């Protein structure tokens, strides 16, 4: 899974499939892709944790703060 796809439900993927997702991929976590469960995939961290930016959390940040949060989370996923 190295190319961007339509929104992917990460609850339906195995750990290996999630590791193969490209950073920046639009994702959802069940619940039929409602706004609260849509996000941006960042990757799998060193300890095996899934790292994503959820749109509900990102909504409160604007402009430079939003971009900084995205950069931070992407870097966090890389370890």
Q: Please tell me whether the overall predicted TM-score, pTM, comes out greater than 0.85 for this model.
A: yes
Considering the domain boundaries, does residue 1 fall inside one?
no
Range of the domain at 17: 8-78
Considering the domain boundaries, does residue 39 fall inside one?
yes
Please give the pLDDT value at position 36: 63
Considering the domain boundaries, does residue 18 fall inside one?
yes
Please give the pLDDT value at position 30: 81
Considering the domain boundaries, does residue 33 fall inside one?
yes
Query: Digits of tens for pLDDT over the chain (79 positions)?
Result: 568 899 999 999 999 999 999 999 999 988 766 656 799 999 999 899 999 999 988 999 999 999 999 999 999 999 8
Considering the domain boundaries, does residue 40 fall inside one?
yes
| Contact indicator for 10, 28 with CB cutoff of 8 Å | yes
Considering the domain boundaries, does residue 2 fall inside one?
no
Considering the domain boundaries, does residue 3 fall inside one?
no
Please give the pLDDT value at position 33: 61
Query: How many domains does the chain fold into?
Result: 1
Residue ranges with strand state E in the chain? 8-9, 26-28, 38-44, 50-54
């Amino acid at each position: 899974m190295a190319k961007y796809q339509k929104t992917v439900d990460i609850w339906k993927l195995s750990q290996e499939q999630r590791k193969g997702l490209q950073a920046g991929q639009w994702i959802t976590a069940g619940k039929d892709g409602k706004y609260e469960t849509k996000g941006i995939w960042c990757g799998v961290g060193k300890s095996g944790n899934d790292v994503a930016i959820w749109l509900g959390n990102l909504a409160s940040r604007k402009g430079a703060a939003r971009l900084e949060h995205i950069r931070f989370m992407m870097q966090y996923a890389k370890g």
